Amino acid sequence: MKIYVADLEGKIHALDAIEGWRVMEIIRDAGLPIKAECGGACACATCHVYVDKEWIDKIPPAHTEEKYMLDDAFDVQGNSRLSCQIIMGPELDGLKVTLAKNPD
């Protein structure tokens, strides 16, 4: 399985994905610049990504806690998600996301 991640400069990275892993873990372990300060506990918004429009309806909807945390994210858009809340599975093979900029 693969996910495709656009970094802050627009470069696309094809990453090997492991079933059951959080998208945030895959991005972080690939060495891409994602803060993920809470480590996937949905307690910060530093793993904010933009899900490609063609994929937004294919991932489970955000739950209340994630929506609450997205209120603290920078430049939230309709396709904003916390990558720690997207669990990789075969149905997401080919998922495309873009890293969101975090304020410094």
Which tens digit of pLDDT belongs to each residue from 62-103? 999 999 999 988 899 999 999 999 999 999 999 999 999 877
Read off the DSSP letter of residue 30: T
Does domain 2-99 bear CATH number 3.10.20.30? yes
Q: Which residues pair with 4 in a beta bridge?
A: 14, 96
> Contact 81/59 with Cβ under 8 angstroms?
yes
> CA geometry: angle at 19 spanning 38 and 99, to 5°?
45
- pTM for this structure? 0.94
